[in-house]
A = this chain, B = another copy of it.
């Protein structure tokens, strides 16, 4: 299929490559032109604007960092909304559920559709097409999006017709990740303070009762106290937590409040460009 891909960051770049490898024809746009040359060699076209990247009635994938970026490329001055018309917008960014619901209505007014399809997985999982993808939107739109999603992930799960539903799931999942990060940070600090190795303790958990991708990946960084950039930026994680906190919930969300505080302190220290596991650094101060 002819697919437009908007947003070639640390996640979007390997995802776009996987669509190419799956045999799709790609036209891309990225705000900054970094690294696009190498992709041209792999056979894709680079458009001068989001609007020029899409074809009427076609498919466009967006993979951007926040609500504002998605709004800009869709309904901004050079946005693709009108040019896409009755096409399909697969919105894969971790944005607010409300943004996807609002854009779905805008697309519908032009005969088009939106499927929200946020992904779970760090850049290495994107590169090996092992992302886990939650998706939601109208039934026929979901069916049309599925082959694209299957080329990007090892697992897709539909969450029904609400184009914002999958992003609620995504925010809930990221909240679980941040919670696990804080829990691991405190747990490993106790192990270390009592004479155990952070790595041997973490390896035991990550190969037994917590043998799952999140504890393996985040636990590994926490074991090594490697909070350098390259994974999941703390500033973006803080954005996701704000979106999570803005959703409806029961009363008494104390862990949410604790994490909001921790992120604020970490951002105040200028750690926004570090990996989210840098939260563990607050334990030492």
Q: Contact check, B212 vs A211: say whether CB atoms are below 8 A apart.
A: yes
**A245-268, CB under 8 A of B: which get 1 and which 0?**
001111111111010011000000
A172-B190, A191-B172, A196-B159 are contacts. A213–B204 as well, Cβ < 8 Å? no
Contact of A168 among B196, B209, B215 (CB under 8 A): B196
Q: Contact check, B120 vs A209: say whether CB atoms are below 8 A apart.
A: yes
Q: Contact check, B193 vs A247: say whether CB atoms are below 8 A apart.
A: yes
Chain B residues whose CB sits within 8 angstroms of the CB of A182 once the complex forms: 179, 254-255
The 3 closest A-B pairs by CB, nearest first: A179-B183, A212-B212, A132-B208
Chain B residues whose CB sits within 8 angstroms of the CB of A34 once the complex forms: none
Chain B residues whose CB sits within 8 angstroms of the CB of A143 once the complex forms: none
- Binding site secondary structure of chain A: helix
Oligomer copy total: 2
Q: Contact check, B283 vs A195: say whether CB atoms are below 8 A apart.
A: no
Chain B residues whose CB sits within 8 angstroms of the CB of A207 once the complex forms: 155
**A160-181, CB under 8 A of B: which get 1 and which 0?**
0010110011011101110110
The smallest beta-carbon distance between A168 and chain B, in angstroms, is: 5
13 new A-B contacts at CB < 8 Å, known A179-B255, A190-B253, A208-B213? A168-B196, A172-B190, A172-B191, A176-B184, A179-B183, A182-B255, A189-B249, A193-B248, A193-B249, A210-B213, A211-B212, A212-B215, A252-B285
A212-B210, A252-B285 are contacts. A187–B165 as well, Cβ < 8 Å? no
- Interface: A87 (CB within 8 A): no
Chain B residues whose CB sits within 8 angstroms of the CB of A255 once the complex forms: 179, 182-183, 186, 255, 258
Q: Contact check, B193 vs A169: say whether CB atoms are below 8 A apart.
A: no
Q: Contact check, A258 vs B247: say whether CB atoms are below 8 A apart.
A: no
The smallest beta-carbon distance between A92 and chain B, in angstroms, is: 16
The smallest beta-carbon distance between A134 and chain B, in angstroms, is: 6
Closest to A217 in B: B209
19 pairs, A vs B, C-beta closer than 8 Å: A120-B208, A132-B209, A159-B196, A159-B204, A165-B195, A168-B194, A172-B187, A172-B188, A172-B190, A173-B210, A175-B186, A179-B183, A179-B186, A179-B187, A186-B249, A190-B249, A194-B248, A210-B214, A252-B284
